[in-house]
């Protein structure tokens, strides 16, 4: 049984609507959890239509899926660092982090179960060791917890914004600003429930950006996350008016280049080691399919 504790940051929404956004679940799933007694608001059993108030504490118990077995699968992965507490993985484009609807057994979690000797159990059988995620078609670094103590430490660092996550992306067009800070709310799109969108409500999302280079009508940009919302950089790039090259969901449907997904790479990851308390930093070079296109477009790649 997975337990989530959420402190309400926005007043005035129905409980089921608020939780659907906060947990990235369907509203019907949230209603079933509420009806099943799996949700408490300030220690009391609520109804789905209850209006949430800022500062309220919501406890949600999420039962483990029944009858789902996650197998160890020999999928090659790039483990760039490993000790008894953590492993840092350079995830390739095209690999889903954990199982979900229609994913099968070809996920990073399946590979981790095969290659690592232990994983934290806080996130349950479906997501052992997973502290944070990156999209299937985004490449780059993520840290995996090998025990529960490490998991709690890393989760706390992400929440307190002391875990630094740096991405690079190639954007369509010439972004005029050299740097900036994007602060919006992000929620499920009302037009397409599989997509996220900037909205007037939802969860606060903050992304800092800096232009690294411009060439050939494109912009190479660095992004630093302050929050970790679903598809955050992709949504914020669209919000800037410069979607990520290769992103057919939030960008152009007809792409100029023959790519398998968005040119977004988690290049740098730094955090305080859970046991040694040493500040550690890891870097993963831009993948070849990404760097070769940059070179063709005339980028010098000096930063």
- Are the C-beta atoms of 77 and 25 separated by less than 8 Å? no
CA 9 – CA 28 distance, rounded (Å): 22
**∠ CA(86), CA(91), CA(95), 5° rounding?**
125
The tokens of 4 are what?
Answer: 């989530």
CA 230 – CA 232 distance, rounded (Å): 5
Give the other-Cβ count within 10 Å of 4's Cβ.
13
Place of tokens 């949700």: 39
CA 261 – CA 251 distance, rounded (Å): 11
* Active-site annotation, residues: 135
């Amino acid at each position: 049984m997975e337990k989530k504790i959420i402190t309400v940051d926005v007043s005035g929404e129905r409980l089921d609507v608020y939780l659907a956004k906060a947990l990235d679940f369907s509203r019907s799933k949230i209603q079933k959890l509420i009806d099943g007694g799996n949700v408490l608001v300030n220690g009391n059993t609520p109804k789905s239509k209850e209006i949430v108030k800022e500062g309220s504490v919501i406890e949600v118990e999420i039962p483990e899926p029944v009858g789902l077995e996650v197998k160890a699968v020999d999928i090659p992965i790039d483990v760039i660092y490993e000790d008894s507490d953590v492993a840092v993985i350079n995830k390739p484009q095209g690999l889903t982090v954990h199982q979900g609807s229609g994913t099968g057994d070809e996920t990073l979690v399946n590979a981790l179960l095969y290659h690592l000797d232990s994983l934290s159990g806080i996130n349950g059988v479906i997501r052992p060791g997973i502290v944070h995620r990156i999209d299937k078609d985004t490449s780059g670094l993520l840290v995996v917890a090998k025990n529960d103590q490490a998991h709690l430490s890393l989760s706390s660092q992400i929440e307190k914004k002391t875990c630094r996550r740096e991405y690079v992306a190639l954007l369509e067009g010439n972004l005029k600003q050299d740097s900036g800070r994007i602060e919006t709310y992000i929620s499920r799109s009302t037009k397409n429930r599989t997509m996220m969108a900037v909205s007037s409500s939802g969860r606060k999302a903050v992304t800092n950006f800096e232009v690294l280079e411009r060439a050939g009508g494109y912009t190479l940009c660095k992004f630093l996350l302050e929050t970790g919302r679903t598809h955050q950089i992709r949504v914020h790039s669209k919000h800037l008016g410069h979607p990520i090259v290769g992103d057919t969901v939030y960008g152009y449907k007809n792409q100029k280049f023959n790519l398998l997904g968005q040119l977004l790479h988690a290049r740098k990851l730094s955090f305080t080691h859970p046991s040694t308390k040493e500040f550690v930093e890891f870097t993963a070079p831009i993948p070849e399919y990404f760097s070769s296109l940059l070179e063709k477009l005339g980028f010098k790649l000096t930063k």
